[in-house]
Amino acid sequence: MKRAIYIRPVGDIAPKAIHWLQHDLRSYLNMPVEVMENMEIPGESFDPARGQFHSTRILKEILLEVPGDALKIQGIIAEDLHIPILTYVFGEAQLGGTASIVSLARLEQTFHGLPHDERLFFGRLHKESLHELGHNFGLVHCHDRRCLMYLSNTIMDVDLKGSGYCRQCFETILATMNGGR
């Protein structure tokens, strides 16, 4: 059975972003990428004191419906995410696990008070989506500033890192993809 990466839209997401990501991941990883139906944002994931959503709680909900042929599943959400120890996160992933989630909120220039820039937005989405999937494939943060697995604490960090994995990280992903979950 050919396994696939699944994208799970969480809440209202512009279809253009989902279809763009599906094509981008399919092209970059050279494997099937399927899109699931949108799921509701779990109500208990919202933290009114912070005005953000707790990414770990959403990951737990994503894991409740994993297709049988899923190699990995990635949630995409328009809302801003956090984990309790950090002010915000671009995404969260299970290290060596099945699920991850990426927030589109801080990838948008408008979030930072600047005009929308579609090219920049999709470039950031490419980087953060593949970064979180890299964690799912067992990768930790890379010391190579050009690698997708370089740690991004700020949006400038996202913009400065490269658009591909370094050779060592990519080889690890390929080995994991060919070996199973």
Tell me the pLDDT tens digit for each residue of 112-143. Answer: 999 999 999 999 999 999 999 999 999 999 99
Kindly state the tokens that stand for 111: 């979030």
Q: What is the mean pLDDT of residues 23-47?
A: 96
Please name the amino acid found at residue 155.
Answer: I
Question: Which residue is catalytic, options 61, 79, 108, 132?
Answer: 132
Distance CA 141, CA 147 (A): 9
Question: Is residue 180 over pLDDT 70?
Answer: no
Please name the amino acid found at residue 37.
Answer: E
Kindly state the tokens that stand for 39: 């799921």
Name the strands in the sheet holding 91-93, side by side, starting at the edge strand that comes first in the sequence: 33-35, 4-10, 70-77, 99-103, 91-93
Q: What is the mean pLDDT of residues 31-43?
A: 96
Instruction: Please provide residue 17's backbone torsions phi and psi, each rounded to the nearest 5 degrees.
Output: -65, -40
Q: What global pTM score does this model have?
A: 0.95
Q: Which residues make beta-bridge pairs with 54? A: 82
Contact yes or no for 72/62 (Cβ under 8 A): no
Q: What is the mean pLDDT of residues 170-178?
A: 88
Contact yes or no for 151/3 (Cβ under 8 A): no
Annotation marks residue 132 as catalytic: yes
Distance CA 31, CA 4 (A): 7
pLDDT in tens, 147-158: 999 999 999 999
Question: Is residue 163 over pLDDT 90?
Answer: yes
Please count the residues of the chain: 181
Distance CA 68, CA 81 (A): 28
Q: What is the mean pLDDT of residues 101-115?
A: 97
Instruction: Please provide residue 104's backbone torsions phi and psi, each rounded to the nearest 5 degrees.
Output: -85, -15
